Homo-oligomer: A and B are copies of this chain.
Amino acid sequence: MAQQKIPEVVVDRLPTYVRALTLLREEGISVVSSQELGVRLRVTPAQIRKDLSYFGRFGKQGRGYNIDNLIRELRSILGLTKEWPMALVGAGQLGQAILRYTGFVPEGFRVVAAFDTDKRQIGRKIGPVVVQDVAELPQTVVERNVDIGIVAVPSATAQGVIDTLVRSGIRAILNYAPMSPHIPENVLVREVDPVVALQSMTFYLKLDEKQREKAAQ
């Protein structure tokens, strides 16, 4: 069986399936149909079935999916059975909030090192780590087998930080800086940008206001 190419959109949806399934499990539910899961996630049942079908046959006809089993399968597909060490760059306001964020560890993501250029931050213990000088980054990344970098520095310095991370051999970047970085093909990036999220909503808010005005005439 030649592994067909999986669409990126499909991969992007899998984590939300895992999350919803985990919440269902906490409610004591053990089996779910694509219909029921679709209602929760506001997606069509056909989409869920189609997405899962890229990876295997996990359901039982007439019943649905065993939640424990499906969670296990999806976590394995997504590479979530191991722990992923991460390195954070930028120990300012935002970086500190990230270091104190408790949502990463239960999912297997652990910030194992933090870096800054600011002498006042270096040596400080924040959350689980002591802030190091950025100069030590390349060595630490190699020593601690870090594949994922988190960028939490101002836009102006972000590209430099990203270049350093890439040169150090990092393979994935979670970027909190509001800019679009230059990155080699083989390195992954995801942007975390609440402002961009807000700005696409205001388009529809404004549209809605216009329509109300028109309707009110």
Residues of A within 8 A of B (CB): 11-12, 14-16, 18-20, 23, 40-42, 77-80, 84, 93-94, 96-97, 100-104, 107, 109, 147-148, 155, 171-172, 174, 178-180, 186, 188, 190, 192, 194-206, 208
* Cβ-defined contact, A147 with B205, below 8 A: yes
* Contact A205 to B172, CB < 8 A, known contacts A15-B195, A197-B192: yes
* Cβ-defined contact, B101 with A196, below 8 A: no
Given contacts A11-B200, A15-B199, 17 further A-B contacts (CB under 8 A): A11-B203, A15-B200, A20-B180, A23-B179, A40-B180, A77-B203, A78-B203, A80-B202, A84-B202, A103-B194, A104-B194, A147-B205, A148-B205, A190-B198, A190-B200, A190-B201, A192-B197
Interfacial chain B residues near A206, Cβ < 8 Å: 78-79
* Contact A195 to B107, CB < 8 A, known contacts A148-B201, A203-B77: yes
Cα–Cα, bound, A179→B15 (Å): 11
Interfacial chain B residues near A195, Cβ < 8 Å: 15, 103-104, 107, 109
Cα–Cα, bound, A148→B200 (Å): 12
* Cβ-defined contact, A93 with B101, below 8 A: yes
Interfacial chain B residues near A199, Cβ < 8 Å: 14-15, 18, 78, 80, 107
CB distance from A37 to the nearest CB of B (A): 10
Partner of A197, one of B40, B96, B97, B174: B174
